[in-house]
Structure 1
Amino acid sequence: MSFSVFIVSFFTWLLLTWSVEWQEVVIGLVVSLVISLIFTKYYRIKFNGKFIPGLFKFLFVYIPVFVWEMIKANLDVASRVLVPGRNVKPGFVKVKTALKGDVAKLTLANSITLTPGTITFDVVDDELYVHWIDVAGTDEESKKSFYDKFEKILKGVYE
C-alpha cells in the first residue's frame, strides 16, 4: 500500500464530503484504504518539500490572478460582440514557455483555454500553439501582454 495514495484519497474524500461525522470519516478511511491498495501499482504519487508551499501559492496567488484575467477577458470579448466595428485580428500564436514539467504546461494550457478569446490547440515540447481572438503583434509581444503572469506564478508553484 502506498501511504501517499492513501493520504491523497482520504483528504479528497474529506474535501468532497464536507462532513466531520465519525461515520463519514470511517467510511472515508475504508474507501481510501481500498483505493490505495488497488491503485498503488498504477500511480506513484510522491510528495516533496515544495508541495505545501506550491499549493498555497496556487490557491492564494494563482487562482486570484487567473480569475481577474478571466474577468478582463470576458469583458473584452463581450465588448467585441456588443460594440460594432471593433477590430478583430484572429490568428495563431506560437510561444515558447519556460515551464519544464508536464503538469505545469498542462495548467498553463488549460488556463489559456479557459480564458475567453483564446484556445490552446497544441503543446509540442516547450512551445504552445494558441489561437487568439486579437493577435497584438509578434508571438513574444502577445505572450507578455497576456499570459506571462500565469507562467511566472506557475513556475513558482511547480518548479
Structure 2
Amino acid sequence: MSFSVFIVTFFTWLILTWTIDPQEVIVGLIVSFAVSLVFKKYYSIKFNRKFIPGLFKFLFVYVPVFIWEMLKANLDVASRVVEPKVKVKPGFVRIKTGLKGDVAKLTLANSITLTPGTITVDIKDDELYIHWIDVKGTDEESKKELYGKFERILKGVYE
C-alpha cells in the first residue's frame, strides 16, 4: 500500500461525501485502503515540504483568480454572441511556458481550456498550442494576457 495514495484518496472521499458520519468515514477508509492497494504501482504521489503551502496557495489564491478570469471570459464570449457586429479574430498561438513540471503544465493547459474563448490543442515540451477566439497579437506581451496570471501563480504552487 502506498500511504500517500491512501491519504489523497481518503481526503478526496471526505471532500466528495462532505459528511462526518462515522459509517461514511469507515467506508471511506476501507475504499481508500483498497484503492491504494490496487493503484500503488500506477501512482507515485510523494509529499514534500512544499505540498501543504502549495495546496493552500492553490485553493486560496489560484482558484479565486481562475474563477474571476473564467467569469470575465464568459461575459466576453456572451457579449460576442449577443452583439452581431463584434469582430473576432480567431487563430492559433504558441506560448512558451516557464513551468517545469508536467502537472503544472497540465493545470495551466486545463485552466486555459476551461476559460471560454480558448482551447489548448497540444503541449510539446515547454510550448502550448492554443486556439484563441480573439488573437490580440503574436508578440509575447499580447500572449501573456491569455495565460500570464495563471502561470505566475502556478509557478508558486508547483515549483
Normalised-by-shorter TM-score class? over 0.9
Counterpart for residue 71 of structure 1:
71
Counterpart for residue 98 of structure 2:
98
The whole-number CA distance in structure 2 between the counterparts of 1:145 and 1:18 is: 37
Q: TM-score, normalized by length of structure 1?
A: 0.94
The whole-number CA distance in structure 2 between the counterparts of 1:141 and 1:43 is: 38
User: What is the CA-CA distance between 1:84 and the residue it aligns to?
Assistant: 2.4
User: Alpha-carbon deviations, 1:10-52, whole Å to 9, x = none?
Assistant: 1111112122122221121122222222222222211011111
The whole-number CA distance in structure 1 between the counterparts of 2:21 and 2:117 is: 45
Counterpart for residue 109 of structure 2:
109
Report if aligned partners of 1:95, 1:139 keep a CA contact under 8 Å in 2: no
| Range that drifts further, 123-132 or 14-23 | 14-23
Counterpart for residue 33 of structure 1:
33
The whole-number CA distance in structure 2 between the counterparts of 1:146 and 1:129 is: 12
User: What is the CA-CA distance between 1:107 and the residue it aligns to?
Assistant: 0.6
Mark the runs of 5 or more structure 1 residues left unpaired by the alignment: none
Aligned AA (1:91): G
Q: How many residues align?
A: 159
Any runs of at least 4 consecutive aligned residues in structure 1 with deviations exceeding 6 A, and if so which?
Answer: none
Aligned AA (1:77): V
Counterpart for residue 125 of structure 1:
125
Counterpart for residue 8 of structure 1:
8
User: What is the CA-CA distance between 1:139 and the residue it aligns to?
Assistant: 4.1
* SS of residue paired to 1:122: strand
Percent identity over paired residues: 77
Mark the runs of 5 or more structure 2 residues left unpaired by the alignment: none
